[in-house]
Structure 1
């Protein structure tokens, strides 16, 4: 890199931009997190998903996160709602963002089977806001670097969602959209079209193009208005057709960060957001570097799936935390076979006896969850039957992106003896070689 490039980079890093677009984003995110918390309580999901199950699947390295008591659970959601409103209003933004981050992420970590890409995205965005609060400095501006880091954070969702769609299932066979759209064929007016193969192929290719091109189109002024209309249309349609929760509304709000930094000025008679409290420049620089490091981790994590042989859509090793959105349609059946070596007794266990319907659904298609539950079963049975020596094997069959059911787990492997970790799991059988219909 020549001296001219270095000088231009230094000049760019010293630029100051209007803070109002970050302020509006803060309001969007704070209000939507509040709505999400209230929605979770109103729909009874606190009891159904967090309190009712006697067993929760943990994230690797986070087995210490325990399910809360009812009082703590509802208290967490109350704190989350209050802190998100404070964050939206700009009250102690770093502290309110930190409170949101801790409460939201704790709730997220309670059960791995409930993992969603947008939960991960919100946690990362809140972490960025803790490091670099989205409030103006005394000159009503922020650094160009701060705005760029937030833009990259939002843009990663679209970029990696697009990259993940580059594959035969999505582009050649239009799966899983073909399956999902056909299920909505009973809708009035448009239902007959949703069952047409050509529409699934058109939607698949359009989705790929949208994900890869929408961020550049939003950043470029001549195409910005058209791109945002596409953002709203795309997310409203997907939100209506598919059960993806609050994700479409978050992205509609977050996409505005790609507009010109001063775009809200024309709608704001006067900016009432209080200026941020000045901090030591060296500390601010360190926090900026930390926010950049957080982005680098997110940029690197999706590529770890290349370290595992076979299709990550099938074995799902390295699949999470990669913003791989709406790529898999899986239906699975799992039955656990128990062998007590001490007595020679053999019997079968149905996971429905202990897990919630949603836990069973998610566990039955994800190998690491299947092994985690097998280890739990073995430990539980050995506690209940002192002197026993339990082995757990599983018969797991999964239908994947329109293909017929295929065995997922080696039925001869004692899953109770497997170890948790990031190493490749040889007991996951290869993906089926048949093509989707």
Structure 2
């Protein structure tokens, strides 16, 4: 049964055409990051970046180095698209994207995380075996089929993402439309549609359509009777998201995924008429059979476990932020804060708390994060300690912070008596200096 399900060979037109789309989109993501100013704002202008904790060794290249970094990524994306040295090009892009992703989180985006996961999967899949420069240079590489697991892993990964995105929306601030209302209010300046988005019916539509689309889109695409309708809904949904939320390549990447849901015959007919269609459905057991299933189990177990880790950490994740990242909690909350940092010279017994001007160290974008998110606060405290150590000073850093979530009242967020330079950061359990509230 497993052999038939995973190792039956099917026509590979869907994977080949997806590689072309994927390569173009990841090239556009990298090159676009340069020309939109994202690289400058996120990696060039800041004095330091808030990397993922534990990845301190990842630092931006000096000077204009990050522009060249992303330019190389753009070239690698184009090489993936045309299938030149496909495997190495895809692995190269994956490593470089991982570096850029983990070296900063001021511009954290769930879609960046998804792209990282997809890059890993695409590095493994045999997507360069047709319609590629590799095959043109070496015809022996040419294949017109692929094992069925190549499609299955993509669909399961998408199903996990969409399902968690839907379930995460099932909480009061989304269901009473306050979050959609705030999201639309921030876009009131849009010409023509800005005013329409301020209507209550628009907030209701965004709230419930968002839940239902994320929950049902994969099953509806898998079922032949609803596939076409689901595809047209997807076009509307993702184009709407692209225009309203301006989230880069993700809407178009999501549309590209649909090639894996339509029949192999239809994708072949639409995109690769000149290619011989494979229809033998042979079961071919590969040499890697014994390791594929264990690796897949580990991979998807992690994908299922990470988004629910916050259930095992005390406090509401919407408030504490502990367990928020890598969990497909997309556009679920707005945070604002009033946060001040104070340092004390440990070597001076009469020293008083001295306020820190955040603008002396951080960009506007970084300040927005450091005023509301605990890991940013902890990292900024470590940075302040390191900077003062260069001057021969040993300091303690205290934080006074009041935070509001989704427009609710401001409440104390951090224990102001705790020296943040003296406590560790915990990824998978609570950080006791983050104040929890029992509602």
Asked whether the two chains share a fold, i.e. TM above 0.5, the reply is yes
Could you tell me which of 316, 320, 323 is aligned with 2:325?
320
Structure 1 residues 350 and 151 mapped into 2: Cα distance closer, same or farther (>3 Å)? same
Could you tell me which of 291, 304, 308 is aligned with 2:313?
308
* 1:88 partner SS: helix
* 2:341 partner SS: strand
Query: Partners of 2:332 and 2:95 in 1: how far apart?
Result: 29
TM-fit CA distance, 1:189: 4.4
Q: Tell me if structure 2 keeps the 8 A contact 1:20–1:263.
A: no
Q: Tell me if structure 2 keeps the 8 A contact 1:108–1:119.
A: yes
TM-fit CA distance, 1:247: 2.1
Could you tell me which of 30, 33, 36 is aligned with 1:40?
33
The answer on 1:255 being equivalent to 2:243 is: no
The answer on 1:417 being equivalent to 2:422 is: yes
The answer on 1:366 being equivalent to 2:370 is: no
Query: Partners of 2:305 and 2:299 in 1: how far apart?
Result: 10
Q: 1:199 maps to what in 2?
A: 202
Query: Partners of 1:329 and 1:262 in 2: how far apart?
Result: 45
* 2:150 partner SS: helix
Query: Partners of 2:294 and 2:264 in 1: how far apart?
Result: 22
Q: How does the TM-score come out when normalised to structure 1?
A: 0.89
Query: Partners of 1:342 and 1:66 in 2: how far apart?
Result: 31
Q: Tell me if structure 2 keeps the 8 A contact 1:46–1:74.
A: yes
Structure 1 residues 71 and 284 mapped into 2: Cα distance closer, same or farther (>3 Å)? farther
Q: Tell me if structure 1 keeps the 8 A contact 2:44–2:64.
A: no
Query: Partners of 1:92 and 1:290 in 2: how far apart?
Result: 25
Q: 1:153 maps to what in 2?
A: 157
Query: Partners of 2:309 and 2:407 in 1: how far apart?
Result: 26
Query: Partners of 1:280 and 1:65 in 2: how far apart?
Result: 40
Structure 1 residues 69 and 144 mapped into 2: Cα distance closer, same or farther (>3 Å)? same
Structure 1 residues 205 and 281 mapped into 2: Cα distance closer, same or farther (>3 Å)? same
Q: Which whole-Å deviations, capped at 9, do the CAs of 1:219-244 have from their partners, x for residues lacking one? A: 11111111111111111112212242
Q: How does the TM-score come out when normalised to structure 2?
A: 0.89
TM-fit CA distance, 1:359: 1.2
- Tell me, which stretches of 5 or more residues in structure 1 are unaligned? 1-7, 274-278
Query: Partners of 2:198 and 2:323 in 1: how far apart?
Result: 33
Q: 1:231 maps to what in 2?
A: 234
Could you tell me which of 240, 243, 247 is aligned with 1:240?
243
Q: Tell me if structure 1 keeps the 8 A contact 2:425–2:431.
A: no
The answer on 1:221 being equivalent to 2:224 is: yes
* 2:46 partner SS: coil
* 2:404 partner SS: strand
Q: Tell me if structure 2 keeps the 8 A contact 1:154–1:255.
A: no
Q: Which whole-Å deviations, capped at 9, do the CAs of 1:92-111 have from their partners, x for residues lacking one? A: 22111101101111111221
Structure 1 residues 96 and 291 mapped into 2: Cα distance closer, same or farther (>3 Å)? farther
Query: Partners of 1:187 and 1:176 in 2: how far apart?
Result: 18
TM-fit CA distance, 1:201: 2.6
* 1:282 partner SS: coil
Query: Which has the larger displacement, 196-205 or 52-61?
Result: 196-205
Q: Which whole-Å deviations, capped at 9, do the CAs of 1:16-60 have from their partners, x for residues lacking one? A: 111111112111111011111111111233222212211111213
For residues 13-412 of structure 1, what are the structure 2 equivalents within 5 Å?
Answer: 13-136=6-129, 139-171=143-175, 173-267=176-270, 268-271=272-275, 281-283=286-288, 286=291, 289-343=294-348, 344-384=351-391, 386=392, 388-412=393-417
Structure 1 residues 192 and 85 mapped into 2: Cα distance closer, same or farther (>3 Å)? closer
Q: Tell me if structure 1 keeps the 8 A contact 2:87–2:128.
A: no
Query: Partners of 2:63 and 2:290 in 1: how far apart?
Result: 41
Query: Partners of 1:355 and 1:245 in 2: how far apart?
Result: 25
TM-fit CA distance, 1:284: 6.5
- Tell me, which stretches of 5 or more residues in structure 2 are unaligned? 130-140, 278-283
* 1:176 partner SS: helix
TM-fit CA distance, 1:249: 2.0
Query: Partners of 1:288 and 1:262 in 2: how far apart?
Result: 28
Query: Partners of 2:394 and 2:244 in 1: how far apart?
Result: 49
TM-fit CA distance, 1:357: 1.1
Query: Partners of 1:431 and 1:133 in 2: how far apart?
Result: 50
